[in-house]
Amino acid sequence: MTTLASPASITPAAPARPDVFAPHEAVWDRIARYCLLVAIFLSGWGLLRVGQINLTFSDLFFLISFAISGLRGRLSVTPFRSLTPFWLTGLVMMLGGLFIGSVINGDPLRWVNIALQYMVAFLFIPILLMQQEEKTVRIAPLIFMLGITCSEAIGILASFFLTFNDTLHWLGDGFITGNGRLGSMAGQPNPNGAVVAFSLPMLLYSMRHRLIGGLGGFACLVLLLWGLMLSASFTGFAASLLALFTTLLLMGVRYIFRLGMVAAVAAGLFLASGAPLPKAFQERVGNAVESGDIDQAGTFINRSQLIEEAWGFAEDNMIIGMGVDRYRELSAYDNPVHNLFLLIWNEGGAIAFCGLILLLALIALLAGNGLRISRDKGAMAAAVVLVFLIYTMSYPHMYSRMWVMPVMVALSATYAPRRPVRSDAVRLIYARPVGPSPLPEL
């Protein structure tokens, strides 16, 4: 016999939390999506800043998208699924080591600034990007590449009509340098070479997936390579060659042959035209390549001196580092060492160094596993991560979004969920993937 529950024993359901976005949720989702795409497009435009602080227009659009997505419940606290605890451990170790060093030997207020920068780059960006729906992350590499191509087009055009003195007041000393190198909208020649190196694998991916036509892709390639030569960055030149070779090698032999023929024709036309190489490129890159002497590659000797000095400092900062931004003060050259590993080791000690190694190992693992999911997307991700790793050995702190955004764009395109994250609760959620997760399980 069935016993009916008394009305008094029935607990009324709690009223659903009102969603302020509900009346126009499609509009708000569209705003968040377009703001994210604009942020990706402008992520290499370091010159477009909000005031004098390290907040670019790209950051502003990204934060708008992040805020709307957070209020809509479209974020996930586990962007890397089962690997997320390891990612957070690495980030906490790196920032924790820098904090200990700053409290004991440096200035804690400097740590606050750099910790916020690293949090946005290494936590907020993957939280938002890794949960976007497939139609967004599929075109994200194309959007990033087009943003850099437009930056190079602006710089190339300006180099025909303007000089260092013309652009110094409005665009700073890095848009066009005193020796004729092009920094374009990236703000400095070396970062400009880096964003071009990031863009080339994304261009090949976009052409392979027919996101851009052959003629348009060739035009983008010409502008990117032209901008790369004008930047006269040896690291950018080397990273670009390795990125192209890695992408083509992993995509397949047939693709290498076809694009190799196109490259051979383009090189033949360039040589037949008799056009000279840019002077700065010939001096900083061409001479080093022709002679095989890397000491002629720009400021390589100066960087080697900084690295030698950093090894000497490392003996005294093995356990507890010297603190954030203290390296510049203690260095005889008044500059931080252009090597992320040595800089983190000296400023944050062993704990921060181990945290950095863990983060980079996870990035490499995700890129390598991407080849199992999709050969083309995995090839792009592997090449982009390779460029990032190259610059960790030739650049100081890399919390600027121009370094991390292309890496996360490539990884998100590889690990895109099959459907967008949705939740009725205005909170961060764990977005469970539909079907087996493509992410490697540990």
Partnered with residue 76 across adjacent β-strands are 429
Q: What are the tens digits of pLDDT across the range 132-171?
A: 988 899 999 999 999 999 999 999 999 988 888 888 888 8
Model confidence at 358: pLDDT above 90:
yes
Angle between helices 300-314 and 340-373 in degrees, nearest 10: 100
Structural domain harbouring 194? 79-414
Instruction: Please provide the size of the chain in residues.
Output: 442
| 389 in Cβ contact with 127 (< 8 Å) | no
Which segments of 106-182 does DSSP mark as H helices, in order? 108-119, 125-129, 134-161, 164-171
Q: What are the tens digits of pLDDT across the range 11-38?
A: 555 454 455 555 567 888 999 999 999 9
| 387 in Cβ contact with 375 (< 8 Å) | no
Model confidence at 388: pLDDT above 50:
yes
b/e per residue, 260-286, with b = 16+ CB within 10 A? Answer: eeeeeeeeeeeeeeeeeebebbebbbb
- Residue 277's alpha-carbon distances to 261, 262, 299, 332, in angstroms, are 22, 20, 20, 36
The residues, ordered by sequence, that sit 6+ positions from 8 with a Cβ below 8 Å of its Cβ are none
- What average pLDDT does this structure show over 194-198? 96
How far apart (Å, rounded) are the C-alpha atoms in residues 213 and 206? 9
CA nearest 384: which of 233, 208, 200, 223? 200
pLDDT band at 427 (very low <50, low <70, confident <90, very high): very low
How far apart (Å, rounded) are the C-alpha atoms in residues 415 and 133? 10
Q: What are the backbone dihedrals phi and psi of residue 212, each rounded to the nearest 5 degrees, phi first?
A: -145, 145
How far apart (Å, rounded) are the C-alpha atoms in residues 425 and 350? 41
DSSP 349-388: HHHHHHHHHHHHHHHHHHHHHHHHH-HHHHHHHHHHHHHH
pLDDT band at 305 (very low <50, low <70, confident <90, very high): confident
> For residue 30, is it within any domain?
no
Averaged confidence pLDDT in the chain: 83
> For residue 262, is it within any domain?
yes
- What average pLDDT does this structure show over 291-316? 71
How far apart (Å, rounded) are the C-alpha atoms in residues 164 and 171? 10
> For residue 436, is it within any domain?
no
Partnered with residue 182 across adjacent β-strands are 176
- In the chain, the percentage of residues whose pLDDT exceeds 70 is 78
pLDDT band at 416 (very low <50, low <70, confident <90, very high): confident
Indicate the range of 50-64, 82-96, 199-213, 242-256 predicted with least confidence: 242-256
The larger pLDDT score, comparing residue 281 to residue 163, is at 163
| 248 in Cβ contact with 255 (< 8 Å) | yes
Q: Has this prediction a pTM greater than 0.75?
A: yes
Per-residue pLDDT at 288: 52
Per-residue pLDDT at 328: 87
- What average pLDDT does this structure show over 271-291? 58
> For residue 245, is it within any domain?
yes
Model confidence at 74: pLDDT above 70:
yes
Model confidence at 206: pLDDT above 60:
yes
**Residue with token string 């982009």:** 384
Structurally, how many domains does the chain consist of? Answer: 1
Partnered with residue 176 across adjacent β-strands are 182
Per-residue pLDDT at 50: 85
257-263 contact pairs (CB < 8 A, 24+): 259/204, 262/218
> For residue 433, is it within any domain?
no
> For residue 113, is it within any domain?
yes
| 47 in Cβ contact with 171 (< 8 Å) | yes
Per-residue pLDDT at 176: 92
> For residue 428, is it within any domain?
no
Per-residue pLDDT at 423: 42
> For residue 32, is it within any domain?
no
pLDDT band at 348 (very low <50, low <70, confident <90, very high): very high
